[in-house]
Structures are given as C-alpha cells and as structure tokens.
Amino acid sequence: MAHISRGFRGRPRREVDPARVPPGQYVVNDFPVLSAGPTPRTPLGEWSFTIHGAVDDPVSWPWEEFESLPSETFTVDIHCVTKWSKLDTRWTGVSVDTLLEGVTTEAAYVSAWCDGGYTTNLALEDLAGGRAWVVYEYAGEPLEPEHGGPARLLVPHLYFWKSAKWIRGLTLTLEDEPGFWETAGYHNRGDPWREQRYWSD
Ligand SMILES: Nc1nc2c(c(=O)[nH]1)N[C@H]1C(S)=C(S)[C@@H](COP(=O)(O)O)O[C@H]1N2
Ligand SMILES: [Mo]
C-alpha cells in the first residue's frame, strides 16, 4: 500500500486567498528588485524630504526631523505590473496625510521625485486618506538601498511603479504631469484591480 506522505518539499506554502490577488497577478514569496537605473546612495546627512510646487509654503525635513515625525507600522499587499504580487509586507513610515497636514494647496496632482531622476505622477486624492506613506523600514529593518532606502513612497493600492524608491519630495501641480513609466506607455493611474497596466487599458 502506498504511503501517502505530505512530503517535506520545502516549506509548506501558506494558502493564498484568491480574493487578495488582482487579475493577472501571481503571488511570490521573495522580494524582486526592479530598478530602471543604478541604486543611488545618498548619505543621510545630505537627505531631506521636500513638499513644494503649487503650495503656499514649501516644507522640508532633514533626515533626523523626518525620522521623528509620527510614524505608522502597517501590513499591506503589493502588486507589480510585471505580474508579481507579494502579500503581507510590513512597513514603517510617515503617512502622506501627516506630511500634508500644514500644506495649503489648490493642486490636484503630485509628481513624486527621487534621487536618480525617477518620477511618477499621482492624483493628490490617491496619496490622501491613509493610503500612502513615505516608508523607511521594511519588516522591522531599515529599508535596503535596493528597495528604495533610505526612504520610498508606498502606495499599495496602485501598481508598484507608483511607489517611488529613493524619494526626495513631492511637487504639487495644478495639471497632471506623467512621470517616467507613464510617459513610456504605462497607465496613468495603475489600479491593479482594474488591471490598468497600459495607456490602452
Ligand atoms: N526611483 C525609482 N523608483 C522605482 C523604480 C525605479 O526604477 N526607480 N521602479 C518602480 C517599479 S517598476 C517597481 S515594480 C518597484 C520595485 O520596487 P522593488 O525593487 O523594491 O521591488 O519600484 C518602483 N519604484
Ligand atoms: Mo514594476
């Protein structure tokens, strides 16, 4: 009689709730690195985070001040347009709501800019309401340079290219200004649940 063994072929995979996986995506356990260029390494002493553009008063925090802003630790799922999704990723950082608290603006759009020159555009609405953060810790450790350290934008409800690594600031704008991938043909908003991958979607 055959002995049915559950086997020891590596760690058992956790059951994935299909309702958590957007259309066309598959779940990965590793954390792929996707960068359009080399990894910048800006010393913390030269790092600051700036909000400017169509605002009454621009604001800027050097690293030590940024780090002491009220932070949140939270667990979210992330979805890359190249079709991998990673569930239950844990981050620590500052909510964009907190960063925008003192900011008066007529702007409806934001361009996130980074060391290295990458940009991505978002509706201000998509950064507000507790759905976007500037994070500096992943899984309880300082964010690795390859994944955007010292700090990256995290907008988990949109495809991961909107989560700009090595972020240094937000420019608030009256008109929407497509960023690096958006100019190259990717969707302007990138909602994974609507599978908004390319312009034509
Ligand atoms: N500055 C910058 N941010 C970036 C990118 C980049 O090339 N440069 N790539 C984007 C893309 S396409 C993805 S999928 C994620 C990848 O993040 P990861 O390398 O931490 O997985 O970062 C996004 N943010
Ligand atoms: Mo991506």
Domain housing 180:
3-194
Write the pLDDT tens digit of every residue in 135-180: 999 999 999 999 999 999 999 999 999 999 999 999 999 999 999 9
Does the Cβ of 186 fall within 6 Å of ligand 1?
Answer: no
Provide the pLDDT for residue 14.
67
- Is residue 199 a part of any domain in this protein? no
- Is residue 17 a part of any domain in this protein? yes
- Is residue 81 a part of any domain in this protein? yes
- DSSP annotation string for 131-185: --EEEEEETTEEPPGGGTTT-EEE-TTS-GGGS-TTEEEEEEESS----HHHHTT
- Is residue 41 a part of any domain in this protein? yes
- Is residue 201 a part of any domain in this protein? no
Q: In the chain, how many domains are there?
A: 1
Give the helix/strand (H/E) hosting 96.
helix 96-99
* pTM score, whole prediction: 0.94
Task: State the pairing for strand pair 26-27/84-95.
Answer: parallel
Mean pLDDT of the chain: 94
- Is residue 53 a part of any domain in this protein? yes
Q: Which ligand is nearest to the CA of 113?
A: 1
Q: Per mean pLDDT, which range of 14-28, 72-86, 162-176 is the poorest?
A: 14-28
Does the Cβ of 161 fall within 6 Å of ligand 1?
Answer: yes
- Is residue 55 a part of any domain in this protein? yes
Does the Cβ of 153 fall within 6 Å of ligand 1?
Answer: no
CATH of the domain at 49: 3.90.420.10
Indicate whether 5 pLDDT > 90: no
- The backbone torsions φ and ψ at residue 139, rounded to the nearest 5 degrees and listed phi first, read 50, 40
Q: Whose CA is nearest to atom 6 of ligand 1?
A: 35
- Is residue 200 a part of any domain in this protein? no
